[in-house]
Amino acid sequence: MSNDKDLFKNIISHSKEYGFIFQSSEIYDGLSAVYDYGNYGAQLKNNIKEYWWKAMVQMHENIVGIDSAIFMHPKVWKASGHVDAFNDPLIDNKDSKKRYRADVLVEDYTAKIQGKIDKEVEKAAKRFGETFDAEMYKNTNPRVVEYAKQISDTEARMKKLLEDNDLVAFKQLIDDCEIACPVSGTRNWTEVKQFNLMFATELGAVSGESETIYLRPETAQGIFVNFLNVLNTSRQRLPFGIAQIGKAFRNEIVARQFIFRMREFEQMEMQFFVKPGTQKEYYEYWKSARMKWHKALGLGETKYKFHDHLKTAHYADAAVDIEFEFPFGFKELEGIHSRTDFDLTQHQNLSGKKLQYFDPELNESYVPYVVETSVGLDRMFLAVMSAAYKEEKLEDGSERVVLAFPPALAPNKIAILPLMKKDGLSEKAMEIFNLLKIEHYCQYDEKDSIGKRYRRQDAIGTPYCITIDHQTLEDNTVTIRDRDTMLQERVSISELNAIISKKCSWIGLMG
């Protein structure tokens, strides 16, 4: 069994060994922070997309979906503020030559202090037993109070520095906190600089006539620039939303933790257009609706928490993250942002086109406000994968690795396994495969012992295995084995479609 430290490593190697995720261009030693999804990975990813699309578009009468292009007019990124403000503060360590995000170094520093608080509380809880009041202890124990003050002072200082874009003072903060490079262990830092995260490329083949364009760093702008098109063609009225799933690109300084932070990734975003003044109400609505969507997957109630942003992005008046407990700790999974009328107003000003909504009740036009929900598809994948991955010791002393995916998300729903190749069992099994394949993703496998085949299906997260044996030839029944309980029951072939449909249904997830 793995300890926490090994767990993440094991998930990464399992993802590769079983065809979920491969390093991009691996035969050329890979491309940093770019990954390919393999045979099972692509299917799991599609199912996560479907879960999101169903919940956001299909289940809302007032949300429609689009699919806009990755390339957009360069003025889009000027208007959105990304050309001027989509920067991360970076700092290099002169000894290790490693580059870091300065704000991440400070966040890691405060997380360490938080770790000390947690340890003190844990020790005290053991000492005082059942009567222990953790909140009271945190508010009164001098050492814990001092630690908490260090955290809040540092966070407040960083927030102000980021707002003022004061990079000299930022370097001073890193010096004052005595932050050392995790690799070299030294505090020999360069100055803090701003680094724009957009990838630029050229449009147009003739030299001198080309134009610099950007690979989109978020899908949201494709929604904003289509606001009028959708409004005029969808018969929607405010409040209504536009959703899309698509690729985004960022030249991340610190690209690490597998598919958590990539340079090419996918977002599932929805912009909800509302009447100015009502944005707070919808912000709260979407905060709770999105948390409910995550929790419905059953990955664990305690694995999620909200984290309010210290520094809101240049376009937002309120922002919160839904954090998930990844194997390396709680980190951002989804962002919910109250984006005001910033984007539409900016596009209106730069394009000269009116991006307004005529409100028939007020008999006036205005630029709507926007509440955005934005979740990384790859991060969702990692959340699902890491919660599903289990190393289990079985009663007979053997071990198995199982991916306990929610059945609706599993890449294959059913494995069809003839007990042996002879006596017509393979042919009967293929008949069943052909019967089920229209409605369900099935995998046919006749190689190796039945025990080995069950283990293999557990390892790729197939929720149900159907075994075809000699009795099947006599009475048209098969056994169906449950991945999680490993229990088997005998059912009639004619019932299979309905049984699998029920077990793998989206209904339980949609609430």
Q: Of the two residues 222 and 461, which places its CB atom closer to ligand GAP in the complex?
A: 222
Which residues have a Cβ under 8 Å from the Cβ of 379 and sit 6 or more positions away?
Answer: 259, 260, 324, 332, 333, 334
Full DSSP string of 212-234: EEEB-S-SHHHHHTTHHHHHHHH
Q: Of the two residues 242 and 415, which places its CB atom closer to ligand GAP in the complex?
A: 242
Q: Of the two residues 375 and 404, which places its CB atom closer to ligand GAP in the complex?
A: 375
- The reply on whether position 262 binds ligand GAP by CB under 6 A is yes
Among 14, 82, 250, 456, binds ligand GAP (CB under 6 A): 250
Show the DSSP H helices in 141-272 as ranges. Answer: 142-164, 167-176, 220-224, 227-234
Burial 291-319 (b: 16+ CB within 10 A, else e): bebbeebebeeebbeeeebeebeebbebb
Shortest Å distance, C-beta 65 to ligand GAP: 16
Shortest Å distance, C-beta 372 to ligand GAP: 6
- Chain position carrying tokens 């007990």: 419
Shortest Å distance, C-beta 45 to ligand GAP: 13
Q: Of the two residues 216 and 413, which places its CB atom closer to ligand GAP in the complex?
A: 216
Contact 391, 2 (CB under 8 A): yes
Shortest Å distance, C-beta 329 to ligand GAP: 15
Contact 22, 259 (CB under 8 A): no
Q: Of the two residues 218 and 458, which places its CB atom closer to ligand GAP in the complex?
A: 218
Kindly tell me the burial class for residue 373, based on how many C-beta atoms sit within 10 Å of its own C-beta (0-12, 13-18, 19 or more).
buried
- The reply on whether position 386 binds ligand GAP by CB under 6 A is no
Kindly tell me the burial class for residue 184, based on how many C-beta atoms sit within 10 Å of its own C-beta (0-12, 13-18, 19 or more).
middle
Shortest Å distance, C-beta 46 to ligand GAP: 18
Contact 315, 340 (CB under 8 A): yes
Looking at residues 29 to 58 of the shown chain, list those that interact with ligand GAP (rule: CB under 6 A).
Answer: none
Q: Of the two residues 2 and 257, which places its CB atom closer to ligand GAP in the complex?
A: 257
Q: Which residues does residue 195 pair with via DSSP β-bridges, in sequence order?
A: 88
How many residues bind to ligand GAP according to rule CB under 6 A?
A: 19
Q: Of the two residues 323 and 359, which places its CB atom closer to ligand GAP in the complex?
A: 323
Q: Of the two residues 92 and 378, which places its CB atom closer to ligand GAP in the complex?
A: 378
Q: Which of 89, 63, 113, 358 is nearest to 236 (CA)?
A: 63
- The reply on whether position 261 binds ligand GAP by CB under 6 A is yes
Show the DSSP H helices in 371-449 as ranges. Answer: 377-388, 425-436
- The reply on whether position 374 binds ligand GAP by CB under 6 A is yes
- The reply on whether position 376 binds ligand GAP by CB under 6 A is yes
Q: Of the two residues 167 and 220, which places its CB atom closer to ligand GAP in the complex?
A: 220
- The reply on whether position 379 binds ligand GAP by CB under 6 A is yes
- The reply on whether position 378 binds ligand GAP by CB under 6 A is yes
Q: Of the two residues 383 and 402, which places its CB atom closer to ligand GAP in the complex?
A: 383
Task: Judge if the upstream peptide bond of residue 368 is cis by omega within 30 degrees of 0.
Answer: no
Taking the C-alpha atoms of residue 271 and residue 336, their distance in angstroms, rounded to an integer, is 10
Q: What is the number of the residue whose Cβ is closest to ligand GAP?
A: 376
- The reply on whether position 265 binds ligand GAP by CB under 6 A is yes
Among 88, 103, 269, 343, binds ligand GAP (CB under 6 A): 269
Return the amino acid letter for 509: L
Give Cα separations from 165 to 99, 103, 188, 215, 308 (angstroms): 19, 12, 22, 25, 20
Kindly tell me the burial class for residue 28, based on how many C-beta atoms sit within 10 Å of its own C-beta (0-12, 13-18, 19 or more).
exposed
Q: Which of 196, 195, 194, 198 is nearest to 170 (CA)?
A: 194
Q: Of the two residues 220 and 344, which places its CB atom closer to ligand GAP in the complex?
A: 220
Among 91-99, 114-122, 280-288, 372-380, the segment contacting ligand GAP (CB under 6 A): 372-380
Taking the C-alpha atoms of residue 244 and residue 259, their distance in angstroms, rounded to an integer, is 21
Q: Of the two residues 103 and 469, which places its CB atom closer to ligand GAP in the complex?
A: 103
Shortest Å distance, C-beta 323 to ligand GAP: 9
Among 41-49, 298-306, 368-376, 463-471, the segment contacting ligand GAP (CB under 6 A): 368-376
Shortest Å distance, C-beta 466 to ligand GAP: 37
- Cα 287 from chain centre: 16
Contact 268, 377 (CB under 8 A): yes
Looking at residues 207 to 236 of the shown chain, list those that interact with ligand GAP (rule: CB under 6 A).
Answer: 218, 220
Looking at residues 309 to 348 of the shown chain, list those that interact with ligand GAP (rule: CB under 6 A).
Answer: 332-335
Burial 329-349 (b: 16+ CB within 10 A, else e): eebbbbbbbbbbbbbbebbbe
Shortest Å distance, C-beta 186 to ligand GAP: 28
Q: Which residues bind ligand GAP (CB under 6 A)?
A: 218, 220, 250, 252, 261-262, 265, 267, 269, 332-335, 372, 374-376, 378-379
